[in-house]
Amino acid sequence: MNNQHFGSCLCGSTKYTLSGDFQSFFLCHCTRCQKGTGSAHAANLFATDSSLTWLQGESNVKIYQYPNSLHRKSFCQNCGSALPTYIKNINCVVVPAGSLDSPVPISPTAKIFVSNSASWLKNTGYVPCFDGLPT
């Protein structure tokens, strides 16, 4: 039986549902994901044989395909949020974990391309934590 998942972008113009199950949850540290997210890594769930349906705002969804690779990113043209994208070659929908509004059902299964990790990511366990903005 397929599970139903829901998500949206930051501005709320784009909403989707995914029918299917996630097999993998990768934290990808490759340099393309660093550029694409502006952060240390992407956090993407992978659902093969699943079905992605745009409930709202499909016309806002823009897709960037990195040449000659499987690296593909969907995002909202209005707010820039990462959104799910279908990768035909592997019959898989890739879902950015942060775009989900329904609970993320699995924990990360692997960190990948760690040889490309951002140098500043090391030793972040020692930096102070705040519940909100530092006072």
- Residue 76 or 100: the one with the smaller Cβ distance to Zn ion is 76
Assigned token pair, 110: 């692997």
Minimum CB separation of residue 44 from Zn ion in Å reads 8
Q: Are strands 24-28 and 61-65 parallel, antiparallel or unpaired?
A: unpaired
Q: Which residues is 26 bridged to in the sheet? A: 44, 110
- Residue 3 or 31: the one with the smaller Cβ distance to Zn ion is 31
Can you tell me whether residue 125 is helix, strand or coil?
Answer: helix
Q: Do residues 30 and 38 touch, judged by C-beta distance below 8 A? A: no
- Contact with Zn ion (CB under 5 A): which of 11, 40, 87, 104? 11
Site string for Zn ion, 93-122 (x = CB under 5 A): ------------------------------
Q: Of residues 17-36, which lie at the interface with Zn ion (CB under 5 A)?
A: 28, 30, 33
Q: Phi and psi of 118, rounded to 5°?
A: -60, 135
Q: How many residues form the binding site for Zn ion (CB under 5 A)?
A: 9
